[in-house]
Structure 1
């Protein structure tokens, strides 16, 4: 299954304009690299520029090797982190908000990707009664967990657009992961975050103040590498078809056999 194409085709049918991946070095003095799919659209979220379309979707190449979103220290220690990755995202610039974003996300993961519903868990911000109410249309209350700002409030940097978020997790199974860190919200690999739905409502200024955005908007991000590994039934992103051809070529050139446990 070509997940990248399936995602863009799905949101194209939902009247989203499809954008190509923007450069890794953004035209933004607050960022060293493009670290999320929403970065090319930042000025539309803040209202600095009028959005040329109310809805957009993309597959954005991102680097997280410094700054607020720094995955560098996790690379090599987990099966799910990379310095460079592709982020699938759909965006609304003052068009739809929480309900339609949640409904489309659920439809895509359960009907297009056909992930088993009994493996999916949801988190929302501890203050977000509305998001939980909407999710209750799709999942039982027991599968919805509330967390604070650390886990369920997203911002692109120290300043800029931000807001509470809701995340979709995939349970890879306790038969594979049973460390003390393998709980929802923990640092283990059992519960894998696959999609983050950010409800962009604020802009944080240099004084740290939260100012309401002119129009509440939607910014979502799903890691292509993670969802590919899940669909292919492997427990490490590096064992998926996105990485194995590269790894096998390196192993052949080095005259070594690749074994994941040995790196």
Structure 2
């Protein structure tokens, strides 16, 4: 499956305009690199520029999280799921639809287009977001919905800017291969793998930390293409998927080292 094309076409059919990936180095003094799909839409979310005639967007954005609030660099090489550069699939609403439609779209794509089994899906929501809990209960039993605090379920681009509570979709990869002490829903292990974050963009945080309501509540979502590819291929390690196999083969040839050699890092 061409996941990127499947995603973009799905949301185009839902009335979203397709946008190209913006440059990795953004025209934004608060960011070193583009770290999320919503970066190119920041001024729309904050009302700095008028929203487009089609108030829905979708994109596949190259992202790098090295330094700043979202720093994944130190995890690269030590987990099965982090990368220096990754591709974020996203859908966005600029004051058009909000939580209900965002959740409905996500559930439809994950279960119908990607074919993941509903019984394997778990959901996290912000601890104060009872509305999201009720919406998710249409699809997922309450015992598979977990409330979490600001650290896990309140998203913002940087120390300032658009932000809001979020809801994340996880897939249970099964207990057979995951026996660690952190392999529980909400733990740091890899058994429950987050694939999609739905951000309910309601606020803008100022430089002094004050939250102000955005002109119109909006939606910002991000799904990790590399993680989904590995899951669809039943791989427990992103680097074992078909996305990375050609790269690993080329590196092995250039270095005359097998990927499984004694010099292999954790991942």
1:21 is displaced (CA, Å) by 0.3
SS at match of 2:37: coil
- Normalised by the length of structure 2, the TM-score is 0.97
Is it true that 1:118 corresponds to 2:119 in the alignment? yes
Q: 1:12 to 1:260 in 2, by over 3 A?
A: farther
C-alpha distance in 2 between matches for 1:184 and 1:44: 35
C-alpha distance in 2 between matches for 1:232 and 1:260: 24
Q: Which aligned pairs between 1:18-57 and structure 2 lie closer than 5 A?
A: 18-52=18-52, 53-57=54-58
Deviations, residues 27-66 of structure 1 (Å, cap 9, x unaligned): 1110010000000000000011011130000000001011
- Normalised by the length of structure 1, the TM-score is 0.98
Unaligned runs of 5+ in 2: none
SS at match of 1:38: helix
Deviations, residues 99-121 of structure 1 (Å, cap 9, x unaligned): 00000000000000000111110
Q: Which aligned pairs between 1:1-263 and structure 2 lie closer than 5 A?
A: 1-52=1-52, 53-259=54-260, 262-263=264-265
Unaligned runs of 5+ in 1: none
SS at match of 1:179: coil
C-alpha distance in 1 between matches for 2:255 and 2:70: 33
C-alpha distance in 2 between matches for 1:68 and 1:184: 24
C-alpha distance in 2 between matches for 1:70 and 1:43: 23
Q: Is the 8 A contact 1:151 1:185 kept in 2?
A: no
Which consecutive aligned stretches of 4+ in structure 1 deviate over 6 angstroms post-superposition?
Answer: none
C-alpha distance in 1 between matches for 2:245 and 2:260: 11
1:256 is displaced (CA, Å) by 2.3
Deviations, residues 192-218 of structure 1 (Å, cap 9, x unaligned): 000000000000001100000000000
C-alpha distance in 2 between matches for 1:93 and 1:115: 28
Deviations, residues 81-131 of structure 1 (Å, cap 9, x unaligned): 012100000000000000000000000000000001111100000000100
